[in-house]
Amino acid sequence: MITTILWDVDGTLLDFGEAERRAMRKLFAEFDLGECTDDMLRRYAKINVSFWKRLERGELTRDQVLRGRFEQFFGECGIDPGIIPEYNRRYQLRLGDTAIPRDDSVELVRALRGQVKQYVVSNGTVAAQTRKLEKSGLRELMDGVFLSEKIGAEKPSRAFFKKVFDEIHPGDLSQVLIVGDSLTSDMQGGINAGIRTCWYDPEGKPLPEGYAVDLVIRDLRELPAYLDARQAREER
């Protein structure tokens, strides 16, 4: 039986890609930087992912990620790096302006209330995630929110999950499930923590060798059937 679900936010419960695109375009207009082209958006997205993966591996600090991604992007695009501090500050706010649920995620979380405990576990910044969760209505539906910036440790580290478990006291870890789209952050974090793992893979990518996840879903609405099936097995 699953009694606790740990939810990732960006790319899982909410559409991060669209939030990122809208934030960048708004800021280009605010800073009078000209057109933010599709090619520039793709370039920034690739840079951003690479910096966050380095954070997951412990190669960079959070501040180095938040600053360094724009240093590289601005350098490649010929933009004055002097605006980076203010650009990054506003970027967190603009990210929080867009909260688009994936696969009826808000309704799903609402339907699961009372059946399981549900918590957010995210590496996203406090400024962006707080706004997104409030705007989407997810905050009031969750039993708690754990953001790595506040915790002082990042997914997939054991330290992150230890701090979460020290607060929620889940008991049997085999009854805890993490749901997320990132293999390196969410799934590896779940493996490190000794809990069950559900990889959200909407694009149908093949599971790389080396990841023994418990469940793969392409749509979040597949999750209740899995929970019901596990409960039925427990009751037999």
Instruction: Answer whether residue 143 shows pLDDT above 80.
Output: yes
**Cα–Cα distance, 185 to 52 (Å, whole number):** 10
What pLDDT does residue 83 have? 97
Residue 28's Cβ-side half-sphere holds a number of Cα atoms within 13 Å equal to 19
Instruction: Please give the average per-residue pLDDT across 198-215, as a whole number.
Output: 94
Give the pLDDT band of residue 210 (cuts 50, 70, 90).
confident
Give the pLDDT band of residue 211 (cuts 50, 70, 90).
confident
> Residue 119 maps to which CATH number?
3.40.50.1000
Instruction: Please give the average per-residue pLDDT across 111-128, as a whole number.
Output: 96
Domain residues for 74?
16-97
Closest CA to 163 of 175, 145, 180, 181: 145
Catalytic residues: 8
Query: Cα 212 from chain centroid?
Result: 20
Residue 194's Cβ-side half-sphere holds a number of Cα atoms within 13 Å equal to 9
Clarify whether residues 144 and 72 are in a common domain: no
Last residue of a domain, one of 27, 62, 97: 97
What pLDDT does residue 229 have? 79
Give the pLDDT band of residue 36 (cuts 50, 70, 90).
very high
Clarify whether residues 46 and 131 are in a common domain: no
Dihedral sign for Cα atoms in the order 159, 165, 171, 175: negative
Clarify whether residues 219 and 111 are in a common domain: yes
Say what angle helices 84-97 and 16-30 make with each other, to 10 degrees.
130
Cis peptide, bond prior to residue 101, ω within 30 of zero: no
> Residue 24 maps to which CATH number?
1.10.150.240
Instruction: Please give the average per-residue pLDDT across 61-90, as a whole number.
Output: 96
Give the chain's domain count: 2
